[in-house]
Structure 1
Amino acid sequence: MKYHPINSALFIKNRQNFASQMKPKSMAIFNSNDIYPISADSTMPFEQHRDIFYLSGVDQEESVLFLFPDCPNESLREVLFVRETNEHIAVWEGEKLTKEAATKTSGIKTIYWLQDLKKVLFEMSSYADTFYINTNEHYRATVETETREDRFTKWLLAKYPAHSVAKSNPILQRLRSVKDQIELDLMQQACNITEKGFRRLLGFVKPDVWEYEIEAELLHEFVRNRSKGFAYTPIIASGNNANVLHYIENNQQCKSGDLILLDVAAEYANYSSDLTRTIPVSGKFSKRQKAVYNAVNHVKKEATKMLTPGVLWKEYHVEVGKVMTSELLKLNLLDKADVQNEDPNWPAYKKYFMHGTSHHIGLDTHDYGLLHEPMQANMVFTVEPGIYIPDEGFGIRLEDDVVIQENGAPFNLMQNIPIEADEIEDLMN
């Protein structure tokens, strides 16, 4: 891995928190992701399943974690299975986890090779009444591929039909949404790497540069700072491309006088950052562009102040909508009649700001978190308002990642990344 080793205290604590929520006489099972094929012998880069990483720190394919906190055999209360390694594998594929390295990474003492899984599972199942299975229940999930976890669950329930079944996901939704300080430090590192990429761009962008050239500059800066690269598919949208919310082609030339919307950020140690900035290709905003930019920035600042413990996500968005409506009126994009006659289910401001303001962020860019439950301290949210005006040929979105505090204003993990319009112009010139 490119990233520095993570303190195993994080994973020990995460397992303890999960185990405390389990039913008596139950065991939970977590699988690594598959390595997905492209064709012939080509594969996509491996990405670890975030749940097994959260609970063990193991960032390797074909790993399986068993948790059975009240198992009568104390040595089987935490069991990690890893792929057996040898000199041949080391030569052809690189170093894999030894049993000793797996313990050092995870803090788990009982490590088996994967080939022993069915034998160990048979013993553990005889003590257990309930299996916790791990399904993807994220509110944005649309999964068509059968995952390694899915295949294992299907086999497990067919092999042991008399066991009860419980779900891991509701426990993980709550646990993963509230960050440990070690996690916050890793996310800060991702944001710091993102800052380096953005500052690099401010001196690079000029008229006639291509969107993909900007993407290349970012990737260079991210990887040289120990990131695998982008936390999500980068959006580098010049001109009217910015009015396509998930524009990812990044294949157009940036013209003088246009704006570039950059929704781009680095990962670090599997933790995401999520940044959006909008900058002028020529290094200077027009009067109209700056007015809209400052309106978006104002909404972002006001929305950030609202992120405090106890706030409900749905109510928060209603309040942000009121601030956005006020700004759109000042910009003459809406008039009073638009607001008075609006559909409550699709307010007038949605014509220019059609997406949500905030989402959880962490191991996933759109991270775990139950949106119907009140916000808590140490949750991390994006704040990302935007105004999109196809008729004027530009769209503006601004986004930072902020940590909810027990008392006081949220802490902005991206506070050092330039955002004020005048500062952007100064740095580009």
Structure 2
Amino acid sequence: MKYHPIDKSLFIKNRAKFTAQMKPNSIAVFNSNDIYPVSADSTLPFAQHRDIFYLSGVDQEESILVLFPDAMDPKHREILFVRETNEHIAIWEGEKLSKESAFETSGIKTVYWLSDFDKVFYGLMIEAEKIYFNTNEHYRQAEETETREARFIKKCKQDFPAHSWERSNPILQRIRGVKEQEELDLMQQACDLTNKGFRRILEFVKPGVMEYEIEAEFLHEFVRNRSKGFAYTPIIASGYNACVLHYIENNQECKDGDLLLLDVGAEYANYASDMTRTIPVSGRFTDRQKAVYNAVLRVKNEATKMLVPGTLWAEYHKEVGKIMTSELLGLGLIDKADVQNENPDWPAYKKYFMHGTSHHIGLDTHDYGALKTPMVENMVFTVEPGIYIPEENMGIRLEDDVIIQANGEPFNLMRDIPIEVEEIEELMNK
């Protein structure tokens, strides 16, 4: 891995939080992701399943974590299975985890080779009454590929039909949504890399530059600072492209007079950052661009103040809608009649601001986390209002990542990334 080692104490704490919520005499299993083929002998770069990483720190393929707090043999209460390595594998593929390095990474003392899994697991299932399956229940999930986890669940149900099963995901939603300090520090590092990339492109952007050239500048800055690259597919959208919410082609020329929307975030140690900034290609905002930009900024600042313990996510979005309505009225984009006659299910402001304002962020860009219960300390949310005016060839979105704090003042992980009009113009015209 490019990133610095993470102290195993984080993963020890994470496992303790999970097992504390397991039912008696139950076992939980977590699998690594597959390496996915492209064609011939080509594969996509490996990306670890975030749940096994969260609970063990193991960041390689063909690994399995087993948690069985009530196992008769104490050494089997936490078990890590990793692919057996040897000199041949080391030469052809590079270094893999040994049993010793697996312990140093995870804090799990009992480490077996993956080839021993079936035998050991059968013995454990004889003791257990329930098994926790790790299904994907994220509200945005749309899986079509059969994962390694899904194959395991299918086989386990066939091999052990008399066992009852539970769901790991509700536990993970609760505990992964509230970050430990070590996680917040890693997220700060990811945000700091994003800051470096953004400051770099402020000096690079000018009329005639291609969107993909800007993408390359970000990537170079991220990778040279120990990141694997982007936390998600970047959006580098100039002119009208900024009005396409998930524009990812990044293949157009940036033209004089246009705005450039940058929805970009670095990952660090599998933790995500998620930033959006909108800048003038020429280095100067027009008066109209500045007016819309500052309206979005005011909405973002007011929305951020509401991210405090006790806030309900759904009610928060309604309040942000009211603030956005006021700004759109001030810009002349909607009028009082539009508001008076609006459809409650699709308010008038949605014509120009059609997406949500905030989502959890952490190991995933759209991270696990409770959405129907009040916000609590150490949850991390994005704040990302936008105004999109296709008829004016303009889309503006601004986004920061903030921590919910006990004192009621959210902590902005992107506080050092330029956002005010004057600072952006100054840096682009140095």
> Aligned letter for 2:180?
D
Deviation at 1:35, TM superposition (A): 0.2
Distance 1:244 1:341 in 2: 27
- Identity among equivalent positions (%) equals 75
1:269 to partner: Cα distance: 0.2
2:378 match:
378
Matched, 1:227 2:227: yes
Q: After superposition, where does 1:44-59 map in structure 2 within 5 Å?
A: 44-59=44-59
1:264 Cα shift? 0.5
Task: Quote the Cα distance in structure 2 between the aligned partners of 1:70 and 1:415.
Answer: 46
Q: How does 1:390-405 map to 2 (within 5 A)?
A: 390-405=390-405
Residue in 2 aligned with 1:257? 257
Counterpart-to-counterpart distance in 1, 2:378 and 2:369: 12
Q: How does 1:29-428 map to 2 (within 5 A)?
A: 29-428=29-428
Q: CA deviation at 1:409?
A: 1.0
Q: Aligned partners of 1:125 and 1:393: how far apart in 2?
A: 61
**In structure 2, what residue type is equivalent to 1:138?**
H
By how many angstroms is 1:8 displaced?
Answer: 0.4
- Could you report, residue by residue, the CA deviation over 1:199-221 in whole angstroms, capped at 9, with x for unpaired residues? 00000000000000000000000
Counterpart-to-counterpart distance in 2, 1:391 and 1:9: 54
Structure 1: distance between partners of 2:421 and 2:337:
31
1:314 is paired with a residue of what secondary structure? helix
- TM-score scaled to structure 2, two decimals? 0.99
In 1, the alpha carbon distance for the partners of 2:128 and 2:113 equals 22
Deviation at 1:123, TM superposition (A): 1.0
Q: SS of 1:263's equivalent? A: strand
Give the Cα–Cα distance (whole angstroms) in 1 for the partners of residues 117 and 408 of structure 2: 49
- Whole-angstrom distance in 1 between the partners of 2:64 and 2:147: 14
In 2, Cα distance between equivalents of 1:370 and 1:40 = 42
Shift of 1:393: 0.4
CA deviation string 1:361-400 (max 9, x = no partner): 0000000012111111100000000000000001000000
Deviations 1:1-26 (A, max 9, x none): 00000010000000000000000000
Aligned-pair distance for 1:404? 0.2
- Answer yes or no: is the 8 Å Cα contact 2:81–2:112 preserved in 1: yes
The alpha-carbon deviation at position 408 of structure 1 amounts to 2.7
2: CA distance between counterparts of 1:146 and 1:373?
31
Letter in 2 for 1:109: K
> How many equivalent residue pairs?
429
Give per-residue Cα distances to partners, 1:222-275, cap 9 Å, x unaligned.
Answer: 000000000000000000000000000000000000000000010000000000
Deviation at 1:152, TM superposition (A): 0.6
Letter in 1 for 2:4: H
Residues in 2 aligned to 1:43 and 1:338: alpha-carbon distance in whole angstroms: 52
Cα deviation, residue 173, structure 1: 0.3
SS at match of 2:115: helix
- Between the aligned partners of 1:374 and 1:47, the Cα distance in structure 2 is 32
Contact 2:309 2:408 in 1 (8 A): no
Measured after TM superposition, the shift of residue 126 of structure 1 is 1.1
Alpha-carbon separation, structure 2, partners of 1:63 and 1:312: 38
Structure-2 separation of matches of 1:408 and 1:160: 49
Query: In the alignment, residue 326 of structure 2 is paired with which amino acid?
Result: S
Instruction: Give, as a single letter, the amino acid of the residue that structure 1 aligns with 2:53.
Output: F
SS at the partner of 2:204?
Answer: coil
Q: How large is the Cα RMSD of the aligned pairs?
A: 0.4
Once residues 370 and 108 of structure 1 are traced to their aligned partners in structure 2, the CA distance between those partners, rounded to angstroms, is: 28
Between the aligned partners of 1:383 and 1:15, the Cα distance in structure 2 is 30
Residue by residue over 1:105-152, the C-alpha shift from the partner in whole angstroms, topping out at 9 and shown as x without a partner, is 000000000000001001111110000000000000000010000001
Q: Which residue identity does 1:401 align to in structure 2?
A: D
Quick one: distance in 2 between partners of 1:74 and 1:379? Answer: 34
The AA in structure 2 aligned to 1:303 is A
Q: Give, in angstroms, the shift of residue 47 of structure 1.
A: 0.3
AA of the residue aligned to 1:331: L
SS of the aligned residue for 1:203 comes to helix
Give distance in 1, aligned partners of 2:239 and 2:122.
60
**Superposition misfits of 4+ residues, deviation over 2 angstroms:** none
Q: Partner of 1:262: helix, strand, or coil?
A: strand
